[in-house]
Structure 1
Amino acid sequence: MHVAHLSLHDFRSYATVEVPLEAGVTSFIGRNGQGKTNLVEAIDYLSRLSSHRVATDAPLVRHGAEQAVVRAAVVKEGRTAVLEVELNPGRANRARVNKATLPRTRDLVGLVRTVIFSPEDLTLVKGDPSDRRRFLDDLLVLRTPRIAGLRADYDRVLKQRNSLLKTMLGARRARRDDEYAASTLAVWDEQLAQHGSELLAARVALVDDLRPYVGKAYEAVARGASREDAEIEYVPTVPTDTGDLVTAFTDAIAARRKGELDRGLTLVGPHRDELALTLAPAGTATEKLPVKGYASHGESWSFALALRLASYDLLRSDGDDPILILDDVFAELDTERRAQLAELVAGAEQVLVTAAVPADVPAALAGARYVVAGGEVTRDA
């Protein structure tokens, strides 16, 4: 799979730009603030309908414009399809394939697959649990696009349930009984357990599938490491060692009922779970410590790279070669890790690299090159 042409209209800094691409490696070279990351961000957005840099769509629309359009010709198994998304902040986005409007924008998810490496990846290790949950869910959606709908349903139920719990907390503080709210809560409990148990099962299965790839990738990028050194483990708020997750979820809600009513907040479910990352310190055969707080800067970077490489290998094992995006990542790595990463990804069907200067791009990733400056994207002869 590769992108053969990218068109942007009022996306980020570009009023309009057309960029022909090809399989293999393509580098976008330019100083910070010139728009090179905007190009690869657009391709990644087509894959997941979200940005790796911002939480909402509004910053993706060029200042002064009402909407942005990202369009790409994607080649897969010799066939070309034109994918397009229209970003409309404050209104519903629209998606098209070969000019035909899709019933739902999220139906576009997964038609093109990307794995992106960026400086923000360090938050996978050092950031909040929500960063690691998002990592899992994004990968889930790429493997199984229908999960996007499930996640949206879960988030909707969670929002409604939290609103109701806050209302009930206010009533308690005012010493009022609200029997209607109590009966309504039971309805939201049921829906939370139904959607939450399905999302939980999908995440647990994903972590089981991903685990061996993480160990293998860490061994490849960390100096002197073995594949047993790095571990990932899903830590749920609902017991998963039961044959009936819905019942287990319902029981867990009941067990935390008092705490939820006291705080006006849902305390059980995938939104509270964690992906635990542990690492054996150098020279230690068995002991493993949390990466966050114990690992060095270099070890943290190696673990973050291992998570991305593992994602890439897992998607490839599904029978599809995703597009690899290396966004200013080499500037963050030492010479050895640069070379190791470059060698590992050089064989991908398409690799898109951004860098401030040509010297940041390892020799193993020599290929087509564009210069990005002053809002212009020019092929470097």
Structure 2
Amino acid sequence: MDFDYSPRSQELRERLLRFMDEHVYPNEARYEAEIEANTKAGKRWTPLQLLEELKPKAREQGLWNLFLPPTAGGKHGQASGRDFGLSNSDYAPLAEIMGRVPWSSEVFNCSAPDTGNMETIERYGSAEHKQQWLEPLLEGKIRSAFAMTEPAVASSDATNIESRIERKGDEYVINGRKWWTSGAGDPRCRIFIFMGKTDFDAPRHQQQSMILVPADTPGITILRPLNVFGYDDAPHGHMEVDFKDVRVPASNILLGEGRGFEIAQGRLGPGRIHHCMRLVGLAERALELMCRRASSRVAFGRTVAEQGVTRERIAEARCRIDMARLLTLKAAWMMDMAGNKGAKAEIAMIKVVAPNMACQVIDWAMQVHGGGGVSDDFPLAGYYASARTLRFADGPDEVHRNAIAKLELGKYAPA
């Protein structure tokens, strides 16, 4: 395995670092001020002007749709002005840089759930689906939501899903309640990818289907935003949504009935590793803030950085971040070499390792910041909320640990 960045990735990395230095880091305070102003004005769920100003700049510099894989051919592969996509290994260092500021991914049209939804439509959608939904998503003209998790069942087992997708003539009728539907709070959200069951009597993994549901279809009700440690993540949001007798054309089904679980596995593999790439960057930023704070504060006659416990935690953080980065790069390399299915062990391992690592590093950084660490004066509390959520998103730790253990036990099972 060669983890040197490819020339193309290195070029984009340098360009992205400059963009972050020139346009993102200097605007972090403005981002928070704009959110506060929107809240006071009763416009909490309004797209931020800052991000809309930065997007054309990113696109002009060729820093747009960087997540697109090489398989995204034709005009979709050229949507960012590039004539080829990036491999997972190429994209990894770029996602890490974007992850240092949680909101920056949207500036480059590389934020969830849109990336996963775009890949899903590109991979499994029809030509009509791509023209109607993929192209405006790639252009950044609309946003999307992914409706899979349900409040009534343990959705860590996707076969538990109870929502119904029933064929009625030339239409499907959709009924069910979803929550943690990422992106549904954004007023620019125009399309849902919805997972439900088309056949409750089919084999366990052939009951589910995925279907495209336009956001303005009658019968869709946004019930409420779900907060994470008090953060509502506006204007993106993680919403509870009710679908009642929602009718869409039968042609909106992806791949066909009974293919939903297959699509979910194809979609969540890249999504999981993208999250982990960004978490490495988030942990790096937390360590940077930790070191700067520790060097500038004096307690008991010496800087906090000179305290033994602080140095121990800084050293341990450095080790854990680098270990997580290497495992992430290995997973990305395996996905490129063997495909998502061939890399299932590595994807599961990094999905356990990266969020837990980030939570611990951010926690140590918060401790060094004292009371300020848990306040809104510093970004660490928000960082922690995001990292902690990712121990659930795209499958909880327990599911991935179980999968890892089964693979390991299988190596030593009797013939």
TM over 0.5: no
More strand as a share of residues: 1
More helix as a share of residues: 2
Mark the structure with the bigger radius of gyration.
1
- Give the alignment's TM-score, normalised by structure 1: 0.28
Structure scoring higher RCO (CA < 8 A, sep ≥ 6) equals: 1
